[in-house]
Amino acid sequence: MMSDDVKEVLISEEEIVERCRELGAQISEDYADKDLVIVGLLKGSVPFMAELMKNISIDCEVEFMAVASYSGTESQGDVRILKDLDRSIQGEDVLIVEDIVDTGKTLLKVKELLYSKGARSVKVVSLLDKPSRRIVDIQAEYVGFTVEDKFVIGFGLDFNQKYRNLPYVGVLKEEFYEG
């Protein structure tokens, strides 16, 4: 079973659900007089986006984008658009929904890209933050949980495209990395 591959559960489903309530309430308050468009980065943000948006009580639009680093397993800092936005965000207040901020390179590029498309403001909500790994100076305005420098899986986060459907955030057993 998939869950047999998990060494430890770091953040339970209940904790994520509760944190999404708080984040949704805060975002609803902060964006009450703005034109909010939430932009999920595929595929990792999907479960977080679903949980978070239920708790946003103001009018907002929902968009998705898919980006990829150019090469290698580490983020390279230059992103390729696999799926672009379906509509203009000119003059809108964009909130990027991300699974984890690691080096920060992906987010920096996506933020620049969304500003170049005419967004009035671009902020970030991330389920997880791994500040110890940061290379570029970027910080998500809203963070669900801060995690140590461990490779995490579940609640959208994958290892070789697996484990995204786990309903919690966990750490994979070492034997699976060594493959």
Active site residue 102: yes
Q: Which residue, 92 or 98, has its beta carbon nearer to ligand 5GP? A: 98
| 3-state secondary structure (DSSP) of residue 175 | helix
Residues that bind ligand 5GP (CB under 6 A): 44, 75, 98-106, 151-153, 157-159
Least Å distance between CB 161 and ligand 5GP? 10
Beta strands in 24-60 (DSSP E): 36-42
Helix (H) or strand (E) segment spanning residue 107: helix 105-116
Least Å distance between CB 37 and ligand 5GP? 19
Least Å distance between CB 140 and ligand 5GP? 10
Contact by Cβ (8 Å): 110, 67: yes
Q: Which of 4, 59, 78, 102 is catalytic?
A: 102
Q: Which residue, 65 or 106, has its beta carbon nearer to ligand 5GP? A: 106
Q: Which residue, 18 or 148, has its beta carbon nearer to ligand 5GP? A: 148
Number of Cβ within a 10 Å radius of residue 110: 21
Least Å distance between CB 48 and ligand 5GP? 11
Sheet holding 142-146, edge to edge: 79-83, 61-69, 36-42, 93-101, 121-129, 142-146
Closest CA to 147 of 4, 15, 25: 15
Q: Which residue, 151 or 168, has its beta carbon nearer to ligand 5GP? A: 151
By annotation, the residues acting in catalysis are 102
